[in-house]
Amino acid sequence: GQNIDQPTEMTATEGAIVQINCTYQTSGFNGLFWYQQHAGEAPTFLSYNVLDGLEEKGRFSSFLSRSKGYSYLLLKELQMKDSASYLCAVREYDYKLSFGAGTTVTVRA
């Protein structure tokens, strides 16, 4: 089973940086995903980590520490369009994804 924790809400100013933390407990780790979900829309893939370290994709970066059961998503140079829910999801060896409750990020002008 899974226990995935992430903050419920975060607010930041346009142009700033926000870090969304995710902690998890799992019996069989096979990768961690971050998805973005705008209100009323489907989740879309942002990033993937399976080894420890930092993965960078443009303004978004994701970090993983498997020994600590910890990941974060870093959003840089925030834009208004980044206002959305960000979902942390852990994949186990049976290929299932378990999602956290999501962090709603509000970007203010």
Residues of this chain that bind another protein (CB under 8 A): 31, 33, 41-45, 48, 87, 94-102
Q: Is 22:99 a contact under the CB 8 Å cutoff? A: no
Question: Least Å distance between CB 2 and another protein?
Answer: 10
Question: Least Å distance between CB 42 and another protein?
Answer: 4
Helices (H) and strands (E) in the chain, counts: 0, 11
Question: Least Å distance between CB 102 and another protein?
Answer: 6
CA dist 103 and 10 (Å) reads: 7
Q: Is 32:4 a contact under the CB 8 Å cutoff? A: no
- DSSP 8-class letter at 104: E
